[in-house]
Amino acid sequence: MAKLRILMSTLALIFTGLFAHAQDFDKEVLTFDEYLGYVKKYHPLVKQANMELSRAQALLLQARGAFDPKIEVDYDEKQFKGTEYYSVLNSSFKIPTWYGIEIKAAFDNSEGYYLNPQNTTPNSGLTSLGITVPLGQGLFINQRMADIRTAKLQQQISAADRRLKAIAVLYDASAAYFNWLKSYQEAEMYTNYLNYAETRYKGILKLIEQGDKPAIDSVESGITIKSRKLSVVDARLKLTKARLELSNYMWIDNVPVEPAEGLKPEAALSGTIDNSLQTNMLTETDSLLASHPKIQSLEGKLSILDVERKLKANMLLPKLNVGYHYLSEPSYIDNYRFEDYKIGVNFSLPIFLRKERGALKLAKIKIQDSRFQLDQERLQLKNKIDGQRAEINSVKEQREIITALVGDYSTMLKSEERLFSFGESSFFLINTRENNLISAKLQQISLENRYFFSKADLFKILANPD
């Protein structure tokens, strides 16, 4: 029973949490700004985009591992038929540094009947402390240094890529909201005009009963009602599908939430969309381009190619490594005998350097290619921003015209209804006027939706999701 009570309590907590999440969307109106806030905070694809920064940090940590101090121990022993052939111990502690310089402390102890003479050490072993310096390749830049610089630049690229991925999700989420708003407005409009048609039908029936109108008017009015009902059913289907599409972007704490059927979109979105999308904080195009993630990503990739070029150019230098190691017995470590040492010089240089020169030339070609791409991207973004601004201004002008046109059609309908009440018009003319008004209102809704999408397109071009 105790286990059953614990299970029931756990289930109650789970369902209470889910119900609490659902209540966040079970309200009368869901504003666009609030909706975007949920998407930014909870949507899995936005969280996935944020992982770009974590990935870049992991790559930087991995690159820094090349500079970690290292302990090495190598022990070999051979015994055969009671004879110790050899026992060789080589241990060291290495510290790699930034400019290719390596500091090394070591302890060697070897003995055995068949020991290689060069491995012979005093009975107490042999300690050494020294340094190896690359005087050619690897002094000013080497693979480890290049990896660190590349990883740091990759963080810049990852931050830009995160913004691009997040903006794509937010744009799709915005499109879903706009489609939901459009479907809601169309459904409301068709429902209202269905009510008007039914009210008018009742009035016509009374006039027919009084002998003021012919019976055929009831047939035409009934046809209008049936047509309106078809439009309402179709509009409600579109609204349902738009609401389900919207639910793809509504998450809370890794739990998908479906909006209630009675949930309404923001009615006055025209006045708040600029603040929600931050499209009202536009500056000069040049400054927008400088902070654009695509430009920053390409500049970061160009910098990485420049690091690669420097590394390839360094390969033209000869390999010249010089090492010095001070030797001493552990018991005489305080008695410095600088005549006991081990030095080494390593030198190599290909005669023609064809491989190195070819690699350097390819690196320069990649840089030039990336510069062309960067210049082209700057031009395209500038033209996109200017073009989108022009589209927004054009749609604004069209919205003003269609608003005036809807007002005119509405006036014409009211006038025709007034004439009809005086017996100086017909139901056919009223129906024609009303159909023209409905078409104009549909065009108005469509233009308003296009206006929202033009703002979202500018938001996507600017790529500033934060």
Each domain of the chain, given as residue ranges in start order, spans: 21-63+144-309+357-462, 66-136+319-350
Split at pLDDT 50, 70, 90, the class of 10 is very low
Mean predicted lDDT score pLDDT of the chain: 85
- Residues 17-65 have pLDDT tens digits of 333 344 445 568 889 999 998 898 888 888 888 888 888 888 888 888 8
Nearest to 203 by CA among 409, 415, 416, 421: 421
Split at pLDDT 50, 70, 90, the class of 197 is confident
Measured between alpha carbons, how far is 286 from 323 in angstroms, rounded to an integer?
A: 53
pLDDT of the residue at 5:
45
Helix (H) or strand (E) holding 256: strand 255-256
3-state DSSP assignment of residue 265:
strand
> What mean pLDDT comes out for the span 297-308?
94
Class of CATH domain 21-63+144-309+357-462: mainly alpha
> CA 405, 407, 409, 415 torsion: positive or negative?
negative
Nearest to 460 by CA among 243, 167, 262, 155: 167
pLDDT of the residue at 243:
92
Split at pLDDT 50, 70, 90, the class of 8 is very low
* Least confident interval from 257-261, 334-338, 340-344, 424-428: 334-338
Residue 321 has phi, psi (to 5 degrees) of -110, 130
pTM over 0.85: no
3-state secondary structure 64-129: HHHHCCEEEEEEEEEEECCEEEEEEEEEEEEEECCCCCEEEEEEEEEECCCCCHHHCCCCCCEEEE
Long-range CB contacts for residues 335-342, cutoff 8 Å, separation at least 24: 341/130, 342/128, 342/130
Residue 203 has pLDDT above 60, yes or no: yes
Nearest to 177 by CA among 428, 453, 424: 453
* Least confident interval from 29-43, 127-141, 392-406, 409-423: 409-423
Share of the chain above pLDDT 90, in %: 43
Could you give the count of Cα atoms lying within 13 Å of 304 in the half-sphere of its Cβ? Answer: 17
Residue 424 has phi, psi (to 5 degrees) of -105, 10
Residue 251 has pLDDT above 50, yes or no: yes
The distance from CA 328 to its chain's CA centroid, rounded to whole angstroms, is 59
Residue 103 has pLDDT above 70, yes or no: yes
Q: What is the DSSP string of 332-350?
A: GTTS--TTSEEEEEEEE--
Residue 451 has pLDDT above 60, yes or no: yes
Nearest to 229 by CA among 181, 193, 200: 193
Measured between alpha carbons, how far is 166 from 36 in angstroms, rounded to an integer?
A: 12
> What mean pLDDT comes out for the span 197-211?
79
